[in-house]
């Protein structure tokens, strides 16, 4: 309750005396509760921080005071010039989460004689890069971008290049050294990486067939943001391969989730997934885009259980006034998920995606079972799929659910059968699938679209 503004004959206030007594708890009380001036100077020209630094083995006290001085302060170039090495280091550490400056960069700056120097010039100095070979180009670019608003606040900003709505990143902005592989598929593999200027980890897709990604860009850059579509942030060119950078879905794919022991393919669960997939597919088709690679492994789940359609490596924009995309013979495609007409004529339509949706629902109902897994040779199966003699869901399909702990997902089976109709004209479109799902979930009394029987 004492007057915290009083001082003794040496000009030492309560904060100075608490530092001399090495009383960290009292220092915290005075700074946080009593709001004393932490930068007050005694008659000897000493601040509380300078007194604390004179006390040996009191690193915690020094660290606290340094942090309190730089906390929540607007840092300008002139202000930074008043900081000594210790305060510069503390300021960088305090902003590390915001600026994502690596600890090695901070230690480098602290080791140098930074008093009165322009830190941006220091970070741009080629000699510094040679002196610290462990720091990669992305780290140097990161710290320069962090310091530019302070040391060059009026410098013109160079806009980032874009391709349509996609951002174009430089190779140096992608940290591949600490990348984590998420999985591999028939057309490429996915890496979890960090990219300068992006707040969290993202997914980088590398391709086995680089020419495919170039063709898909025209479709991808036409996509708008949608709750059931994987957000593609941008792209980067690596080894002549255009690699897409997308948001990260922490729970992985529906394929992997469906193969877990606790997965229960009930109507309630499956209809919820079908609703999200059909909603995303309806958005793609409204943009005249065919996905061509719809399967459980390409349906991803966010940490909040939001379901999105991903992997657009085979996606194509339909030609103007065209009803289908004509594929090329040398291009690998996931034939087990393809509709009969796609296999026969290599013509890819919206109704072909609906067939793939039906196969995806089959995967989920069977807890991740591969389509046609009970048949041996695809080369012998393929003609039967094309002529309709081999059906993925037949009259005996419901028998496989006998003896299970959950009832037969009869509503889901009925919708999947409609998606897998051999006659593409009889298949529902994505909006009609959504309507059928809503009726099955009790959200509508009946499906009232007269255009679909």
Numbered residues of the known binding site: 205
* Cα 68 to Cα 24: distance, rounded to the nearest angstrom: 13
State the helix-helix crossing angle for 267-286 and 410-419, rounded to 10 degrees: 30
Beta strands 316-317 and 289-290 are antiparallel
Q: 147 near 80, Cβ under 8 Å? A: no
* Cα 316 to Cα 293: distance, rounded to the nearest angstrom: 11
Extract the tokens encoding 235. Answer: 């792209």
Among candidates 188, 208, 219, 211, which has minimal Cα distance to 325? 219
Burial 96-109 (b: 16+ CB within 10 A, else e): eeebbbbeebbebb
* Cα 139 to Cα 306: distance, rounded to the nearest angstrom: 33
Within 8 A by CB and 6+ apart from 428, the residues are 354, 418, 419, 435, 436, 452
Known binding residues for ATP are: 205
Burial 355-365 (b: 16+ CB within 10 A, else e): bbbbbbbbbbb
Q: 120 near 152, Cβ under 8 Å? A: yes
Q: 206 near 189, Cβ under 8 Å? A: yes
The backbone region for 305, taken as left when phi is positive above 0, alpha when psi lies in -120 to 50, beta otherwise, is left
Q: Which residue has the tokens 């901070």?
A: 106
* Cα 284 to Cα 317: distance, rounded to the nearest angstrom: 10
* Cα 343 to Cα 338: distance, rounded to the nearest angstrom: 6
* Cα 348 to Cα 85: distance, rounded to the nearest angstrom: 64
Indicate the SS3 state at residue 420: coil
* Cα 433 to Cα 414: distance, rounded to the nearest angstrom: 11
Among candidates 277, 263, 209, which has minimal Cα distance to 240? 209
């Amino acid at each position: 309750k004492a007057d915290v503004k009083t001082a003794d004959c040496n000009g030492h206030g309560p904060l100075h005396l608490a530092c001399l007594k090495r009383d960290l708890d009292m220092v915290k009380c005075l700074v946080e509760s009593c709001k004393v001036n932490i930068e007050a100077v005694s008659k000897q020209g000493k601040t509380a921080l300078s007194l604390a630094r004179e006390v040996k083995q009191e690193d915690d006290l020094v660290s606290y005071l340094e942090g309190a001085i730089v906390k929540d302060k607007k840092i300008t170039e002139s202000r930074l010039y008043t900081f000594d090495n210790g305060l510069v280091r503390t300021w960088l550490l305090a902003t590390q989460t915001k600026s994502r400056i690596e600890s090695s960069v901070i230690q480098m700056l602290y080791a140098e004689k930074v008093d009165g120097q322009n830190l941006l010039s220091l970070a741009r100095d080629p000699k510094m890069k040679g002196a610290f070979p462990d720091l990669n180009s992305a780290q140097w670019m990161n710290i320069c971008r962090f310091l530019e608003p302070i040391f060059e606040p009026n410098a013109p900003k160079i806009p980032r290049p874009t391709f349509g709505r996609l951002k174009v990143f430089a190779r140096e902005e992608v940290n591949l050294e600490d990348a984590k592989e998420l999985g591999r598929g028939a057309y490429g593999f996915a890496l979890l990486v960090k990219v300068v200027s992006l707040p969290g980890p993202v997914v980088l897709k590398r391709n086995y067939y680089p020419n495919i990604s170039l063709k898909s860009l025209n479709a991808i850059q036409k996509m708008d943001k949608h709750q059931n579509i994987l957000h593609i942030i941008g792209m980067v060119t690596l080894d002549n391969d255009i690699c897409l950078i997308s948001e990260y879905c922490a729970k992985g794919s529906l394929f992997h989730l469906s193969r877990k022991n606790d997965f229960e393919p009930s109507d309630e669960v499956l209809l919820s997934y079908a609703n999200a997939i059909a909603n995303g597919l309806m958005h793609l088709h409204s943009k005249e885009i065919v996905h061509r690679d719809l399967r459980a492994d390409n349906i991803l789940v966010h940490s909040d259980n939001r379901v999105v359609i991903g992997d657009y490596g085979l996606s194509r924009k339909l030609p103007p006034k065209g009803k289908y995309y004509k594929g090329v013979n040398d291009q690998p495609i996931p034939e087990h998920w393809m509709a009969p007409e796609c296999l026969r004529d290599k013509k890819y339509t919206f109704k072909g995606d609906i067939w793939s949706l039906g196969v995806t629902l089959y995967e989920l109902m069977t807890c991740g079972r591969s389509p046609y897994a009970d048949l041996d040779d695809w080369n012998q199966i393929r003609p039967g799929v094309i002529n309709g003699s081999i059906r993925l869901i037949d009259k005996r399909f419901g028998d496989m659910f006998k003896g299970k702990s959950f009832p037969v997902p009869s509503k889901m089976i009925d919708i999947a059968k409609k998606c897998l109709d051999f006659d593409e004209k009889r298949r529902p479109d994505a909006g009609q699938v959504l309507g059928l799902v809503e009726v099955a979930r009790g959200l509508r009394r009946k499906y009232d679209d007269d255009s679909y029987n």
